[in-house]
Structure 1
Amino acid sequence: MYMNSSKILFLSTLIMGTLISISSTSWLGVWMGLEINLLSFIPLMSNAKNIMSTEASLKYFLIQAIASSLLLFSLIMMFLMSNMSILLNHEVFPLLISSALLLKLGAAPFHFWFPATMEGLNWWNNLILMTWQKIAPLMLLSYLINMNTFFSVIIISSIGIGSLGGLNQTSLRKLMAYSSINHLGWMIAAMTSGENLWELYFLIYFFLSAAIIFMFHTFQCFHINQNFLLMNNDPKIKFCMFTLLLSLGGLPPFLGFLPKWLIIQAMAELNSLLIVTLMVITTLITLFYYIRITFSAFLFSYTELKWNYIQLYDNHFYIIMMTFTMISLLGLTFSSLIFNVI
């Protein structure tokens, strides 16, 4: 993302909007922070050189505006009804507020806008959309969450759609979008057992997503078949790529397995065995489409093009990627050792 003074301004107000929302003491302050956050992200999304970004920013604006309207309507109605002795089920208002926040997050079944918006943006905007833009709605959702039928349906649909939706995709941006929906299901499940769990999950997801998107951006990869041709001249970079992807999928020796391990344990203690079983099964499906991205790394014989030997990265990129990979590879081991020592 080309940084100029206006981009820096909008990026700072984007961060400020999220901080206002999560630190506000009233729901009206929460709504205001979400609006500042939304209106700051729209100019960051727009790019005169890419017509798809204009379409994506319009889709994003309309969906977020509908979610904000629903949120404000729910809040006003809740405050009005609290002063009236009308026979009305007040449980409906937390449900409406939760629905508005889930629409902002792009969790299934409110997910239809999310992959289409991701497809029109560059990688850095995708990273903001997948990570930073989820902080405020997730934090607010954690205040309201209560393990009932509604949230059980949300968790199951998010992990199901997030895993099955990515199977038929060749676009890496859509794959990352469906992956994000699947991880949202895990985070919402983690909320039911405590604040610390989903925050740890989000931090590790943020780290792994940033590392993978940094690599995709450097090589300008947007489709799966590009990975079959790129990175053949340096197997170490390819090793970094599939290590990070398998870690994001939650394969046991890697860092990405740590939060999933803790969530499975916490959910089992709460006797949510059916949901845990479904979560583990759908994670195996997501692992399949992560492995498909790095399929060429597992083949002994593949085509190499001579023009592909051009060096697309410098030593700084190489050092950063190897650092990310080592953290991903050894993070679980060190975490276990520290836990045992403590």
Structure 2
Amino acid sequence: MMMNSTLFLFFNTMVLGVMVSISTNNFIMIWSGLELSLMSFIPLMSNSNLLSSESMMKYFIVQSMSSSIMISGLVLMGINTMQSEYMIVSSVMMKIGMAPFHNWMLTVIEGITYEMMLIMFTMMKVPPLMMISYMNVTLYLPIMISLIVGAIWGINQNSLRKMLGYSSIYNMAYMCSCIKMVSVWSMFMINYAIVVTSVIMVFLKMNVFYFNQMMVNSFKKSMNISIWLLMLSLGGVPPMMGFLGKLMVLEYLISINQFLLTAMMIISSLPVMFYYMRCSFMSMTMSSISMKWTSLSTAKIANHLLIINTFLTITMISMKSLN
């Protein structure tokens, strides 16, 4: 994405909206920051993809609907109505694309670039999650549904975008399960953001969008190993960096005696790990017949990502032990 003065302005206002939302404890200011970031993010979604305008329209309609429900819930909260909290939480779940309000996200991401996907999966989800952390509600049913949807529906996908989309739904369940402990879910979000950024950087360099492109390309061995290690990290396999975030969440759930939810997370991680591994093994074990999309600068980025995923784990574990 070429950055000009207009896109730079929209990007700055989007970051400003996110910062306004996470730096206040006033619900109206959080809503205002969400609207500012929404209006700034939609122009950034425009690209040469034929589905770009459709994705922008869908994103605007869904986010506007959820914002309307949110402001209605805030008005009802002012008159002490019991259903107001559930309206607000439902609108927030719709904003972040958490199951069962997830179908819009899977269609939107097919028409946007990897860079906008990264912003949607990380930065745009922080303010709504902060809003949920202020609410006194339990989300056990949506968490269970998100674990099942993210684990099972992601298996039969051929698109890498949709695979990352279902992965985001699955990881949203982890964040919402520890939403009352801000230090845990914020650490998990930082961890997830670093790993998914590394994965999307690799996909951008390789210029691949579907699983079958992983089979018919001839990449360097260093890049294939890097994909494999990044998928291990995204799946939470020790000693990769992604393992630390899931370990913190599971420790927190065990400490509050949520053993059923912990068991559900451990069981659902197996099918998730299956479609992560399918992505890497297709490029490592299948015979290659083409070099059309091979990038010359992939070896250096592969080495850098390998260092990040291995050494940051040790650093973050040390920080956790200091706390």
Equivalent residues of 1:243, 1:329 under 8 A apart: no
Say if 1:233 and 1:69 are closer, same or farther in 2 by CA, change over 3 A. Answer: closer
| Residue from 231, 236, 252 that aligns with 1:250 | 236
Q: Which moved more, 1:324-333 or 1:159-168?
A: 324-333
1:185 is the counterpart of 2:191: no
What does residue 51 of structure 1 align with? 50
1:110 is the counterpart of 2:104: no
Written as runs of structure 1 = structure 2, the 5 A alignment for 1:3-14 is 3-14=3-14
- The unaligned stretches of length 5 or more in structure 1 are 83-89
Equivalent residues of 1:142, 1:191 under 8 A apart: yes
Q: What's the offset of the Cα at 1:296? A: 2.8
What does residue 264 of structure 2 align with? 278
**Structure 1 letter corresponding to 2:256:** L
Counterparts of 2:197 and 2:251, CA distance in 1? 27
1:213 is the counterpart of 2:197: no
Counterparts of 2:292 and 2:105, CA distance in 1? 35
What does residue 276 of structure 2 align with? 290
Equivalent residues of 1:123, 1:217 under 8 A apart: yes
Equivalent residues of 1:211, 1:321 under 8 A apart: no
Written as runs of structure 1 = structure 2, the 5 A alignment for 1:309-328 is 312-314=295-297, 318-328=299-309
RMSD: 1.8
What does residue 40 of structure 1 align with? 40
1:136 is the counterpart of 2:123: no
Equivalent residues of 2:13, 2:36 under 8 A apart: yes
Q: Deviations over 1:212-244 (max 9, x none)?
A: 1011111211000111133x3410011111101
- The unaligned stretches of length 5 or more in structure 2 are none
Number of residue pairs matched by the alignment: 323
Q: What's the offset of the Cα at 1:251? A: 0.9
Q: Deviations over 1:285-316 (max 9, x none)?
A: 111000011123552xx4233x51875132xx
Q: Which entry has the higher C-alpha Rg, 1 or 2?
A: 1
Equivalent residues of 2:146, 2:170 under 8 A apart: yes
| Residue from 123, 141, 144 that aligns with 1:153 | 141
**Percent identity among equivalent residues?**
31
What does residue 156 of structure 2 align with? 168
**Structure 1 letter corresponding to 2:124:** Q
Q: What's the offset of the Cα at 1:191? A: 1.5
TM-score after normalising by structure 2: 0.94
Equivalent residues of 2:73, 2:84 under 8 A apart: yes
1:95 is the counterpart of 2:76: no
Say if 1:191 and 1:277 are closer, same or farther in 2 by CA, change over 3 A. Answer: same
